[in-house]
Amino acid sequence: MKCAALAMALSVWAGAAAAGCADQAGACEISGGTYHIALPEAAQRPVPVVMFLHGYGGSGAGTLKNTRMINAFKARGYAVIAPNATRRRNGNRSWVFFPGWEGRDEATFFRDVMADAGDRFGVSKQDTVLAGFSAGGFMVNYLACAHPDDFAAYASISGGFWRPQPESCSAPVRLFHTHGWADKTVPLEGRYLGGIQYQQGDIYAGLELWRQTNHCDSNAPGKAWQDDKVLRRRWDCGAGADIEFILYPGGHTVPKGWADLMLDWFEKE
State the Cα angle at 37 between 253 and 170, rounded to 5°: 70
8 A C-beta contact, residue 110 and residue 35: no
Which residue(s) pair with 178 in the sheet? Answer: 157, 246
Judge if the upstream peptide bond of residue 99 is cis by omega within 30 degrees of 0: no
Query: Can you give the pLDDT at residue 81?
Result: 97
Domain that holds residue 223: 26-267
Give the count of domains, the chain: 1
Calculate the CA dihedral of residues 231, 254, 192, 175 and round it to 10 degrees.
Answer: -60
Ramachandran category for residue 233: left, alpha or beta (phi over 0 → left; psi -120 to 50 → alpha): beta
Q: Could you tell me if residue 230 is inside a domain?
A: yes
Q: Could you tell me if residue 1 is inside a domain?
A: no
Considering only the C-alpha atoms of the chain, give the largest distance between any 2 of them, rounded to a whole number of Å. 66
Q: Could you tell me if residue 111 is inside a domain?
A: yes
Q: Could you tell me if residue 219 is inside a domain?
A: yes
Instruction: Tell which residue, 110, 76, 116, has the closest CA to residue 96.
Output: 110
Taking the CA atoms of the chain, what radius of gyration do you get in angstroms?
Answer: 18
The 10 Å Cβ neighbour count of residue 28 is: 24
Q: Which residues of the chain have pLDDT under 70?
A: 1-20, 22-23, 43, 89, 269
pTM score: 0.91
Query: Can you give the pLDDT at residue 43?
Result: 65
Which residue(s) pair with 50 in the sheet? Answer: 80, 129
Query: Can you give the pLDDT at residue 194?
Result: 86
How far apart (Å, rounded) are the C-alpha atoms in residues 111 and 151?
9
Q: Could you tell me if residue 19 is inside a domain?
A: no
Q: Could you tell me if residue 91 is inside a domain?
A: yes
CATH of the domain at 199: 3.40.50.1820
Q: Could you tell me if residue 21 is inside a domain?
A: no
Q: Could you tell me if residue 159 is inside a domain?
A: yes
